[in-house]
Structure 1
Amino acid sequence: MPHTMKLCAITLDCPDPRALAAFYEQATGLEAHPASDAEFAGLHGEAGLFIGFQRVDDYRAPRWPDQSVPQQFHFDFAVDDLDEAEARLIELGASKPAYQPDEDRWRVLTDPAGHPFCLVRS
């Protein structure tokens, strides 16, 4: 019988795990993990996916679209209204890079630690 793998967690490097977890908690509605601390914080959802945030000394934020510090990966979030979601996330602390490859179809934002993520029409 072949082995199967199920994605159960994604962990992001960052300078402040609690702050980044709070941003994504407000943005997604996922629940904070009770064992979160200054070194590692986490969120979990109904489907069992866990998103972790680990503190890294001398963290360097990705530079998007410049790859001098590569993004390495990014989240895509499906939303009903791009403008509304963008405005809400910017209020929560996200930033919007000047370069937007196809702003009518998706938006590229960066979280407070500099990780790029996309909003796509659902």
Structure 2
Amino acid sequence: MSSQMELVAITLDCPDPTALAAFYQQATGLEPHPRSDADFAGLNREDGLFLGFQRVEGYRPPCWPGQAVPQQLHICFRVSESLDVAEARLLELGAGKPDHQPLGDKARVLTDPAGHPFCIVTR
């Protein structure tokens, strides 16, 4: 009999949990966790997955694509609209777009307001 693990939470270090939770809430439509505060904020997905954001003093954002400060985590999101439309919406919300785009038309690499890289894909 093999055991299994179910992913229930992903937590990102950041300087401002409330602001980063607001960015991801607007980007994904996930519901804010009712016990979010200035040191730890979170979002809930209907299936139980929790996306958390924890305050770290002296936070240094990842350097991507370089590794002077490693990214340590890279999240991918499937979008329902075109990559161009999704990218424009996310940039309006405060995402950044690195010059280095290694996946061409298959995906876009963006950074959240705290500097974490993430991809958007259509499939």
Tell me if both proteins adopt one fold, taking TM over 0.5 as the criterion.
Answer: yes
1:80-122 superposed Cα distances (whole Å, 9 cap, x missing partner): 3100000000000000001111231110000000000001122
Structure 2: unaligned runs, 5 residues or longer: none
TM-score by structure 1 length? 0.97
Tell me the C-alpha RMSD between the 2 structures: 0.9
Q: Partner of 1:70 in structure 2?
A: 70
Q: Partner of 1:38 in structure 2?
A: 38
User: Tell me, what secondary structure is at the counterpart of 1:51?
Assistant: strand
User: Tell me, what secondary structure is at the counterpart of 2:105?
Assistant: coil
Q: Output the CA distance in 2 between the equivalents of 1:3 and 1:66.
A: 37
| Residues 1:53 and 2:42 are matched in the alignment | no
1:4-62 superposed Cα distances (whole Å, 9 cap, x missing partner): 21110000000000000000000000000011000000000111100000000000000
Q: Output the CA distance in 2 between the equivalents of 1:45 and 1:106.
A: 23
Q: Which structure 1 residue ranges, 4+ long, deviate > 3 Å from structure 2?
A: none
Q: Output the CA distance in 2 between the equivalents of 1:61 and 1:92.
A: 18
5 Å matches for 1:78-93? Answer: 78-79=78-79, 80-93=81-94
Q: Given residue 105 of structure 2, which amino acid in structure 1 is its aligned partner?
A: D
Q: Output the CA distance in 2 between the equivalents of 1:34 and 1:60.
A: 28
TM-score by structure 2 length? 0.96
Q: Output the CA distance in 2 between the equivalents of 1:101 and 1:29.
A: 27
Q: Output the CA distance in 2 between the equivalents of 1:90 and 1:103.
A: 18
Structure 1: unaligned runs, 5 residues or longer: none
Q: Partner of 1:21 in structure 2?
A: 21
Q: Partner of 1:102 in structure 2?
A: 103
